[in-house]
Amino acid sequence: MKRILQGLAFAISVVCPSQPVDAKVIKFEILRTESPAFEGRTFAPVGTYDRIIARATIAVPPDDPHNSVIADIDHAPRNAHGLVDAVSDVEILRPTIATGANRRLFYEVVNRGNKAGLALFNDAAVTNDLTKAADAGNGFLMSRGYTIVWSGWQGDTAAGGGRLTFSPPIVPQVTGLSREEFVFDHSENPAVAKLSYPAADLDPAQVKLTVRARESDPRSEPSDLSMKFEDPNRIAISRPAGFDAGAIYELIYLAKDPKVMGLGFATTRDIISFLRYDKADEEGTPNLLAGHIDRAIAFGVSQSGRYLHDFLYLGFNADEAGRMVFDALMPHVAGGKKTFTNYRFSQPGRSPYQHADTVYPGSEFPFTYPVITDTLTGRTDGLLARCLAAGNCPKIIKTDSEIEFYQQRASLVATDTQGNALAMPDNVRLFLISNLQHFALATDRSALTRTCMFPTNPLHAGPPARALLVALDQWITDGTLPPPSRYPSRDDGSLVPPIPEAVGFPRIPGVVYTGRMTQPTVINFDVVPPVKGAAYPVFVPKTDADGRDIAGVHLPTLEAPVATHTGWNFRKAGFAEGELCDNNGSMFPFAATREERLSNGDPRLSLAERFPKEGDRAAAVLTAAKQLVQDRLLLEQDVKLFMASVK
């Protein structure tokens, strides 16, 4: 889809190719190789790994049907062959000895240029410079022999910090309206903010600046609100009285130099296709993975999971020769959203939330995989529509945490636009990892943050994610079906309206369940700012008396809980109090004794009532862990992790 904002003016010269030319990686340059990587650490039974730092240049014919969906591709500068070029950073981890590899390419879509996959699958810290032995965490992906690949795709990612960058072309001589939202969450005045695109006009009188305390409030222009340009890329906002640190500032200005951001999808497609299928680049440099890859899996977390939704939806899972790029996709905590990438003046880092960025693209229909009709707009579409037509749909295992139902439209993955339950196609499995916040490291502990009302939720999704990756690999390798979906449904009553009576969340002292969540609507993006229309019905997971989601995959420790864990948290006083606190969850410990809980007015059983004898909780955790192993939702090797946590 291409949506061109009003007020654009451009004059573009296009050079047409004299003959058809196929897209390809025209140059794959290896900048350096670290062998062995991770300080020589060995991963049994595979051995050591090598780390390859590279740079890829791609060139695509803009008129090819595989590329014409890219916004502004027809206006992008072309090279002497009539192709559109782009350059991406690439990083590869592969077994030093090729026979140790499992012949699977595991591609992680980077999140704002950063690597997060090892934090999930390997229980590692989040780091981009993978040099130390500890950077491989528990070594899960390496011990299974995966060849791991990352590449840049987001054209506005700043270089540095080991981030993988992507350099798309700029459309020349184009100006147009761009809209920014800022929630500063601090009280500095003036507040300095970076613009997504340089301003074409530095006259403050030509911009529209508003403020509102909450997303649902009308935009206002107090007399003491003003701004100035520090330079074409930065502004300073003088903040008005009466608004706290969580206020939303919206700026509409005339921007210039849009980037062909959607070319990032073609770049991922062509890099992976090259590594899977080609012997060499156009200059004759051999493909270092040639003949060593049988299958490819793409994983993305949060923004990069939403990128996978777009990648699939826009038809990029087939290269220009019609070959499948990824056999399987694993979008994690992506909810029912896509990204604001394939647009003029796009901002891929935006994600519509309850308190911020609510009316940015990436939030609109279709929300789910099967092709359905949107009763509010009359459109018929689905994330699988193009791959179904082309016959190249991948296997998909999608995982969400609880917060995706509150912040990221996850219920619309499992319902139609009237709120009725949807059946997933045979190639899709859905899993709620119950009661988790958006993301937590394996080493996280519950703690208060500067902006949130309650202590955070430290539960980590790594163990079930590992088991589901193994199941996904078996699915594409030998056809072994994965476990059935475990996702809330309207059919069985586990997906309910966001009202206290329906959800059943316990009345914990000091906690008032409000059902606050993002309300998705039809949005008119043809005006600036965009205007909301009719609302879609949305739902959240039903809980039991402990606040535990009835549906989904329960971590073993949740079957013998010591606290109520939620995916949601609220902003505290001074930061738009009562609004959802971004991606943070909460943790509310149980009372130690019956007497303590009664004195507090807590309806939840105390620890002493739940586990009257020493070893009771450990036994319950072990039973739950063994059942998950039997259900193929936990690996045998991870049982000891949960047993260690209760000793």
> What angle do helix axes 303-313 and 263-277 make, rounded to 10 degrees?
80
Count of CB atoms within 10 A of residue 449's CB?
A: 15
Q: Determine the Cα–Cα distance for residues 84 and 73; give it in Å rounded to an integer.
A: 8
Structure letter (DSSP) for residue 600: H
What is the tens place of the pLDDT at every residue in 77-102?
999 999 999 999 999 999 999 999 99
pLDDT band at residue 647 under the 50/70/90 scheme: confident
- Determine contact, residues 194/186, Cβ cutoff 8 Å: no
Q: Determine the Cα–Cα distance for residues 567 and 402; give it in Å rounded to an integer.
A: 5
| Entry pTM | 0.95
- Token couple for 360: 């940015």
pLDDT of 9 strictly over 50: no
Structure letter (DSSP) for residue 395: E
What is the tens place of the pLDDT at every residue in 446-464?
999 999 999 999 999 999 9
- Could you tell me whether strands 191-194 and 166-167 are parallel, antiparallel, or unpaired per DSSP bridges? unpaired
Q: Which residues contact 567 (CB under 8 A, 6 or more apart)?
A: 401, 402, 403, 404, 405, 406, 435, 436, 437, 438, 457, 585
Task: Tell me the percentage of the chain whose pLDDT exceeds 70.
Answer: 96
pLDDT of 16 strictly over 60: no
Q: Determine the Cα–Cα distance for residues 139 and 144; give it in Å rounded to an integer.
A: 9
Count of CB atoms within 10 A of residue 25's CB?
A: 24
Q: What angle do CA 111, 117, 120 make, to 5 degrees?
A: 125
What is the tens place of the pLDDT at every residue in 302-358?
999 999 999 999 999 999 999 999 999 999 999 999 999 999 999 999 999 999 999
Q: Which of 112, 147, 135 is nearest to 39 (CA)?
A: 135
Q: Determine the Cα–Cα distance for residues 163 and 152; give it in Å rounded to an integer.
A: 8
Q: Determine the Cα–Cα distance for residues 607 and 564; give it in Å rounded to an integer.
A: 12
Structure letter (DSSP) for residue 88: E
CA dihedral 604, 605, 607, 609 (to 10 degrees): 180
Backbone φ and ψ of 140, nearest 5°: -55, -55
- Could you tell me whether strands 372-373 and 380-381 are parallel, antiparallel, or unpaired per DSSP bridges? antiparallel
CA dihedral 437, 439, 444, 446 (to 10 degrees): -20
Q: Determine the Cα–Cα distance for residues 91 and 150; give it in Å rounded to an integer.
A: 5
pLDDT of 607 strictly over 80: yes
- Token couple for 240: 């008005």
Q: Tokens 């994600």 belong to which residue?
A: 351
- Token couple for 609: 């009532």
Cis amide bond preceding 509, omega within 30? no
Q: Determine the Cα–Cα distance for residues 312 and 326; give it in Å rounded to an integer.
A: 10
Q: What is the mean pLDDT of the chain?
A: 95
Cis amide bond preceding 36, omega within 30? yes
Q: Tokens 């700012």 belong to which residue?
A: 529
- Token couple for 535: 């609302």
What is the tens place of the pLDDT at every residue in 419-447?
999 999 999 999 999 999 999 999 999 99
pLDDT confidence of residue 1: 36
Q: Determine the Cα–Cα distance for residues 398 and 12; give it in Å rounded to an integer.
A: 41
Q: Determine the Cα–Cα distance for residues 238 and 225; give it in Å rounded to an integer.
A: 6
Q: Determine the Cα–Cα distance for residues 95 and 49; give it in Å rounded to an integer.
A: 4
Distances (CA, A) of 298 to 110, 307, 327, 425: 11, 11, 8, 19
pLDDT band at residue 21 under the 50/70/90 scheme: very low
Question: Could you please report the per-residue DSSP string of 467-510?
Answer: HHHHHHHHHHHH-PPPPPPB---TTTT-EE-SSHHHH-----TT
Question: Could you please report the per-residue DSSP string of 304-348?
Answer: HHHHHHHHHHTTTTB-TTS-BS-SEEEEES-TT---S-SSTT--T
Name the CA radius of gyration of the chain, rounded.
25
Backbone φ and ψ of 473, nearest 5°: -60, -45
pLDDT of 23 strictly over 80: no
Give the rounded distance of the alpha carbon of 424 from its chain centre: 21
- Could you tell me whether strands 248-256 and 208-212 are parallel, antiparallel, or unpaired per DSSP bridges? antiparallel
- Reported for 228-233, long-range contacts at CB under 8 A and 24+ positions apart, including other chains, are 228/204, 229/199, 229/202, 229/204, 230/192, 232/195, 232/198, 232/199, 232/202, 233/194, 233/195, 233/198, 233/199
pLDDT of 14 strictly over 50: no
What CATH number should be reported for the domain whose range is 24-168+260-440? 3.40.50.1820
Q: Which residues contact 296 (CB under 8 A, 6 or more apart)?
A: 104, 105, 106, 107, 272, 276, 325, 326, 327, 328
pLDDT band at residue 12 under the 50/70/90 scheme: very low
3-state secondary structure 505-565: CCCCCCCCCCCCCCCCEEEECCCCCCEEEEECCCCEECECCCCCECCCECCHHHHCCCEEE
pLDDT confidence of residue 22: 52
Q: Determine the Cα–Cα distance for residues 312 and 265; give it in Å rounded to an integer.
A: 10
- List the domain boundaries for the chain: 24-168+260-440, 174-256, 495-645
Taking the alpha carbons at both ends of the chain, their separation in whole angstroms is: 54
What is the tens place of the pLDDT at every residue in 193-243?
999 999 999 999 999 999 999 999 999 999 999 999 999 999 999 999 999
